[in-house]
Chain A
Amino acid sequence: MEALFPPPIGVEPMEKDAVDPAADALERQIDAWRAHLRRSRAITAPDAAELEDHLREQIASLGEQGLSEDEAFLVAVRRMGAIDALTREFAREHSERLWKQLMLSGDGESGDVEPSAAYGTREMWTAVLLAAAAAATIKVPALFGIGFDDDSAFYPLNISFFTLPFIVAYFALERPLPRSSRLTLAAAFALAAVVVNLFPFPSPAGGTQVADTLALTALHLPITLWLSVGVAYVGGRWRGNERRMDFIRFTGELIIYFVLIALGGGVLMGLTVALFGAIGLDVEPLVGNWILPCGAVGALVIATWLVEAKQSVIENMAPVLARIFIPLFTLVLVAFVATMAATGRGIDVEREILIAVDLLLVVVFGLLLYSISARDPVAPPTLLDFLPLALVGTALLVDALALWAIGARISDFGFTPNRLAALGMNVVLLVNLAGSAFLYIRFIRAGTPFARLWSWQMTYLYVIAGWAAVVAFLFPPLFGFE
């Protein structure tokens, strides 16, 4: 609930050169009154219109009894009751309105009397149609005998091209995207698709593993191409940290919404299998071949639309999660380092250690990114700013310990593509976090603008996408497609 005590009504200065100053003043007084009413979410535009009709009727009636418009307005407002009492009464009657309802977006802000059902409907249909298109497209390769469960690496390698173009298409349809950007994006996707499919990866015949470089390309390609989604998201105006930060926020919310939809989808599929199992039908192949893939790619488009639709309605979830988990991760890392120091145990250097440390850095990077995405960049440093700094500091310490342990034995292992990719990602994130820590300390101690941290992170997106591109496109030829 906001604005419990609206400023006094009817104190607006009157325009001297208005055609009919008195009537004009009345209109403005009524406007101000309506604006106060509408500050409460409990009072919708139709409610306000109904109350306004009452107020005008009352003013007219009082006018007939000889009151001036000013007096009539004041009496009518008084009879209507104090606005906060009124809004409280409406809130009690319509408590559901205090819960922000995303799907019921019928509350037209423009003051139209009837709920405008058209609001948001077009976007919804765009999303539904694109989701259907994505679901249909992912099954097209099946016409050529390429399934999900056979050994072919077609789907892992191409999954980006079955998902990301539909998100890009959604933005291209929903916002003015310059023609040049459209062409560039289409060219980028087409080029990437042609290149990775022309790579002569050895076909994994009969139980042999897929090539390492193919797996690396499959893993890094979406990271690179995600930048193209960013270009579409910002409507081609990629310059400017604010827009890029919006894209980062969008990404976080998209992941959260996708996970939520996936959870629901899991329940749906589980129940489908169980229900049909009860009548002796095994629908698992059907679920696995149709509902799961089609649902997943469709869900991504739907999640995109949901994030867009709820943007101004619901608080961003990613920063909330970041705020919850930053202290927890810091605690775990501190406990880990303390235990290492106390027991004298060294890091057991195994093959997976680099992957594990990379994952840790990715998580820390995400937590840091979303915590700064929600921070007011002009607010002075507070004690709370030490939390992300502590997290980054301990993560860097753990990473240094791990790298030191690996460094001693890296020559024993040799440089396989996997190890080089993991090491490269580690260095990329290490530099990012070290730079962030440095800027954070400068911000807390010397008061350099927080925006510097933003622009560091936003510029760094190029580095991450660039490294991913190197792994996706250069590693296979460099390592002979093995």
Chain B
Amino acid sequence: MPAPVSINKDLVAASSTPLVLAILAEGDSYGYAILKRVRELSGGELEWTDGMLYPVLHRLERSGLVETRWEKAESGRRRKYYRITEAGREQLADERRQWRTVDETLRKIFSVISECASDGSPISAPNRG
């Protein structure tokens, strides 16, 4: 079993916007359910402090990427639901392109260095022709 990956705080923060927007693109949701979904998707490896989700959601709301409404949940309590807006979808598409670029770039260089590693040649001394 692989050791649990602990993800750097900056990376968690950077990925929170696309992640939340993408989950809301699946359908309207509320705080607890969003977190549950994050946990499912990451196999429990992307751990957020629960409370920190809310400032993120509020920031998205303020930027007009999501909108909110209060509804009565089956428990009888009032619950705040979030829905992605058109601007949110555009932002999500944009984020997607950015993350894909980062992902592809990293993949390429990672595959190069892993080939080097399997060759046995030193990683730290790049070939200067």
A→B interface (CB under 8 Å): 46-47, 49-51, 53-54, 56-58, 79-81, 85-86, 89-90, 92-94, 113-114
Contacts and interface: CB of A to CB of B under 8 A. Distances in A.
A89 B48 CA distance: 13
A53 B50 contact: no
Complex A-B, nearest 3 residue pairs according to Cβ-Cβ distance, in ascending order: A81-B49, A93-B55, A81-B51
Chain B interface residue number, banded: 10 to 19
B79 interface: yes
Contacts of A89: 51-52, 55
B32 interface: yes
B77 interface: yes
B55 A90 contact: yes
22 contacts: A46-B80, A47-B54, A50-B80, A51-B31, A53-B30, A53-B32, A53-B77, A53-B79, A54-B54, A56-B75, A58-B32, A80-B50, A81-B49, A85-B49, A85-B51, A86-B51, A89-B51, A90-B58, A93-B55, A93-B58, A93-B59, A114-B70
Interface string B30-42: 1110010000000
Nearest to B55: A93
B51 A50 contact: no
A85 to B, nearest CB: 8
Contacts of B51: 51, 80-81, 85-86, 89
Contacts of B78: 49, 53, 113
Contacts of B54: 47, 50-51, 54, 90
Of B32, B58, B73, chain A has the most CB atoms within 10 Å of the CB of B32
B50 A79 contact: yes
Nearest to B34: A54
A245 B77 CA distance: 45
Contacts of A49: 78, 80
Contact of A53 (B55, B59, B80): B80
A54 B32 contact: yes
Given A89-B55, A90-B55, A56 B77 contact: yes
B50 A94 contact: no
B14 to A, nearest CB: 16
Contact of B31 (A46, A53, A94, A113): A53
B73 A53 contact: yes
Contact of B55 (A56, A92, A113, A114): A92
A285 B9 CA distance: 66
Interface string B1-35: 00000000000000000000000000000111001
A81 B58 CA distance: 17
Interface string B69-85: 01001010111100000
A81 B54 CA distance: 12
B50 A81 contact: yes
A89 B54 CA distance: 9
B32 A57 contact: yes
Contacts of A57: 32
A54 B59 contact: no
B50 A113 contact: no
Nearest to A60: B75
B50 A54 contact: yes
Given A54-B32, A93-B55, A93-B59, 6 more contacts: A47-B54, A49-B78, A50-B80, A58-B50, A81-B49, A81-B51
A113 B68 CA distance: 13
A50 B70 CA distance: 10
Contacts of A86: 51-52
A50 B55 contact: no
A49 B71 CA distance: 12
Contacts of A46: 80
A49 B79 CA distance: 8
Nearest to A88: B55
Contacts of A90: 54-55, 58
Given A49-B78, A50-B80, A53-B79, A81 B52 contact: yes
